[in-house]
């Protein structure tokens, strides 16, 4: 199958070269908000938006940007979209914006966005680049949401803030704290890689 077809890009970004468990990119800024599903959804949606538009813009401007200054220009393009996300969040979801704190701004240094702009948008057309940004964001989103689901369920007994576990349940304090995110992501990578290794072995 053609490597650059939209379906193949979707498959690659969601599973075969998932930004998180294959490329290990961009976990810095978002792992911190995974103790709560609502925050994770907002944060990853913000990232998806920035990734899609940065890829689109970089792809449109790729022939105009001199190679030497492209890094700093890409960073400025990313910063521009992050500011838009930040202002939108503060206007419409002030509480979540406050809870996310500095992490919205840190989307700028999220390696996924820069990585996709550099690896994909520099050499592809605008629309397919935007699609690559969206699917990268989706690949990122489902993994983080899974982690956030486990952490919120075990740490608070809730899903999206609604209590689901019986009142007798003792919350696992460790799930609210930082180390659990590392453990869960590590375990997740283990499972995913084992499945991928098995698939490759079966071929």
**Phi/psi of residue 136, nearest 5 degrees:** -60, -45
Are 43 and 103 spatial neighbours (Cβ–Cβ below 8 Å)?
yes
Are 20 and 144 spatial neighbours (Cβ–Cβ below 8 Å)?
yes
Task: Go through the chain and tell me how many residues it has.
Answer: 203
Q: Is 89 in the site for other proteins (CB under 8 A)?
A: no
Q: Is 197 in the site for other proteins (CB under 8 A)?
A: yes
Helix (H, G, I), strand (E, B) or coil at 162: strand
For other proteins, the closer CB: 88 or 127 = 88
Residue window 31-70: x/- pattern of binding to other proteins, with contact defined by CB under 8 A:
xx--------------------------------------
Position among 37, 56, 82, 138 found at the interface with other proteins (CB under 8 A) = 82
Measure the CA–CA gap between 118 and 108, rounded to whole angstroms.
14
Q: Is 140 in the site for other proteins (CB under 8 A)?
A: no
Which DSSP letter does residue 24 get?
A: -
**Interaction site with other proteins (CB under 8 A):** 21, 24-29, 31-32, 71-72, 75-76, 79-80, 82-83, 86-87, 101-102, 105-106, 108-111, 114, 177-183, 185-187, 189-194, 197
């Amino acid at each position: 199958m053609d490597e650059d077809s939209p379906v193949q890009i979707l498959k690659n970004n969601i599973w075969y070269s998932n930004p998180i468990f294959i490329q290990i990119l961009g976990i810095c800024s978002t792992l911190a908000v995974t103790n709560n599903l609502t925050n994770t959804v907002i944060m990853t949606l913000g990232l998806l938006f920035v990734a899609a538009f940065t890829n689109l813009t970089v792809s449109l401007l790729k022939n105009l940007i001199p190679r030497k200054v492209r890094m700093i220009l890409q960073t400025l393009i990313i910063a521009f979209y992050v500011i838009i996300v930040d202002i939108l969040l503060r206007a419409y979801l002030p509480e979540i914006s406050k809870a996310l704190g500095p992490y919205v701004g840190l989307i700028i240094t999220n390696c996924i966005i820069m990585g996709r702009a550099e690896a994909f948008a520099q050499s592809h057309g605008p629309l397919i680049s935007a699609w690559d940004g969206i699917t990268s964001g989706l690949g990122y989103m489902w993994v983080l949401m899974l982690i956030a689901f486990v952490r919120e369920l075990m740490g608070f007994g809730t899903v999206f803030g609604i209590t689901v576990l019986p009142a007798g349940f003792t919350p696992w304090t460790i799930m609210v704290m930082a180390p659990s995110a590392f453990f869960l992501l590590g375990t997740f990578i283990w499972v995913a890689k084992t499945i991928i290794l098995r698939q490759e072995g079966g071929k």
